[in-house]
A and B are shown apart, each in its own frame.
Chain A
Amino acid sequence: MTEDSLVDPLVTETAHRLLSEICDHESIQAAEATGQAPEIWNAFAETGFPWISIDEDAGGSGGSLLDALEVLRLVGYHAAPIPAAETGILGGWLLANSSQELPDGITTVVPNGRENVTGSVSGDEVTVTGRALRVPWARVAERIVVPLSIEDQTVIASIDSAQCAIEPMTNMAGEPRDTVTFENVQVPLAIAAPGIDLEAFRFRGALSRAALMAGAIEKMSQLTVSYTNDRVQFGRPVAKFQAVQQHLVWGAQDAALARMVAETAAREAARGTAQFEIAAAKLVANQAAARATKACHQAHGAMGMTQEYPLHHLSRRLWSWRKEYGSDAEWSSWLGKIAVAQGADQLYPLVTGGSAVLN
Chain B
Amino acid sequence: MRFTPTELTEAELRLQQEVREFLAEELPPGSHEPCLGMAARKDKDFSLKMAERGWVGMALPKEWGGSDRTAVDRFIVVEEMLRWGAPVGHHWVADRQTGNVILKFGTEEQRERFLPSICRGELGFSIGMSEPDSGSDLASVSTKAERASDGWIINGTKIWTSGAHENDWFVCLLRTSPMEDGNKHAGLSQLLIDLKSPGLEISPIPFLDGSHHFNEVTFNEVFVPDTNVVGDLGMGWHQNTTEMAYERGGPDRWLSPFSTVEQLLREAHGTELENAVTELFGELIARWWGIRNLSLSVARLIDTGEAPSVESSLVKEMGTRYEQEVVEKLVHLIDLEYSPDSESLFERLLSQCVVTFPGNTIRGGTIEILRSVASKGLKGLPA
Asked whether A and B interact, the reply is: yes
Q: List A residues at the B interface (Cβ < 8 Å).
A: 1, 5, 221-223, 225-227, 229, 239, 242, 245-246, 248-249, 252-253, 256-257, 259-261, 263-264, 267, 276-277, 279-281, 283-284, 287, 328-329, 331-340, 343-345, 347-352, 354
Q: List B residues at the A interface (Cβ < 8 Å).
A: 1, 3, 5-8, 16, 20, 29, 79-80, 83, 258, 261-263, 265-266, 268-269, 273, 275, 277-283, 285-294, 297, 314, 317-318, 368, 370-372, 374-375, 378-382
Chain A residues with CB below 8 A from B378, complex form: 221, 225, 248-249, 252
CB <8 Å contact, A340 and B371: no
> What CA separation (Å) do A228 and B157 show in the bound complex?
41
Chain B residues with CB below 8 A from A347, complex form: 261-262, 265, 285
B319 to nearest A CB, angstroms? 10
Count, A-B residue pairs, CB within 8 A: 151
CB-CB nearest 9 A-B residue pairs: A335-B282, A226-B380, A336-B282, A336-B278, A344-B266, A280-B286, A332-B282, A225-B380, A245-B375
CB <8 Å contact, A260 and B16: no
Chain B residues with CB below 8 A from A334, complex form: 282
Contact of B317 among A229, A253, A352 (CB under 8 A): A253
CB <8 Å contact, B3 and A336: no
6 contacts between A and B (CB under 8 A): A261-B289, A264-B5, A287-B287, A344-B269, A347-B261, A352-B8
CB <8 Å contact, B6 and A344: no
Tell me the nearest residue of chain A to B29, going by C-beta.
A345
> What CA separation (Å) do A223 and B378 show in the bound complex?
11
CB <8 Å contact, B286 and A335: yes
Chain A residues with CB below 8 A from B266, complex form: 343-344
> What CA separation (Å) do A318 and B258 show in the bound complex?
30
A111 to nearest B CB, angstroms? 22
Contact of A331 among B20, B275, B286 (CB under 8 A): B286
> What CA separation (Å) do A263 and B5 show in the bound complex?
7
> What CA separation (Å) do A339 and B288 show in the bound complex?
13
> What CA separation (Å) do A281 and B289 show in the bound complex?
9
CB <8 Å contact, A222 and B380: yes
CB <8 Å contact, A260 and B279: no
Chain B residues with CB below 8 A from A339, complex form: 265, 278, 281-282, 285
Tell me the nearest residue of chain B to A277, going by C-beta.
B289
Tell me the nearest residue of chain A to B255, going by C-beta.
A348
Known contacts A260-B3, A335-B285, then 12 further A-B pairs from the complex at CB < 8 Å, ordered by chain A residue: A1-B6, A222-B381, A245-B375, A248-B375, A253-B318, A260-B290, A280-B285, A280-B286, A283-B286, A336-B279, A340-B278, A352-B79
Chain B residues with CB below 8 A from A263, complex form: 5
CB <8 Å contact, B375 and A336: no
Given contacts A260-B290, A280-B286, A347-B261, contact A246 B380 (CB under 8 A): no
CB <8 Å contact, A348 and B379: no
CB <8 Å contact, B286 and A284: yes
Chain B residues with CB below 8 A from A329, complex form: 279
> What CA separation (Å) do A336 and B273 show in the bound complex?
10
CB <8 Å contact, A223 and B279: no
Contact of A283 among B258, B283, B375 (CB under 8 A): B283
> What CA separation (Å) do A246 and B321 show in the bound complex?
13
> What CA separation (Å) do A281 and B258 show in the bound complex?
20
> What CA separation (Å) do A304 and B8 show in the bound complex?
41
Candidate in A264, A284, A343, A352 with the most chain B CB atoms within 10 angstroms: A352
CB <8 Å contact, A257 and B380: no
Given contacts A249-B371, A257-B294, A340-B278, contact A279 B265 (CB under 8 A): no
CB <8 Å contact, A222 and B282: no
CB <8 Å contact, A352 and B291: no
Candidate in A249, A253, A259, A287 with the most chain B CB atoms within 10 angstroms: A249
> What CA separation (Å) do A221 and B285 show in the bound complex?
25
Given contacts A345-B29, A347-B262, A352-B16, contact A256 B282 (CB under 8 A): no
Contact of A337 among B282, B314, B381 (CB under 8 A): B282
Tell me the nearest residue of chain A to B297, going by C-beta.
A260
CB <8 Å contact, B314 and A252: yes
CB <8 Å contact, A336 and B280: yes
CB <8 Å contact, A256 and B3: yes
A170 to nearest B CB, angstroms? 28
Candidate in B288, B290, B381 with the most chain A CB atoms within 10 angstroms: B290
A258 to nearest B CB, angstroms? 8
Chain B residues with CB below 8 A from A335, complex form: 281-283, 285-286
> What CA separation (Å) do A237 and B122 show in the bound complex?
51
> What CA separation (Å) do A273 and B261 show in the bound complex?
27
Contact of B371 among A1, A225, A246, A284 (CB under 8 A): A246
> What CA separation (Å) do A223 and B382 show in the bound complex?
10
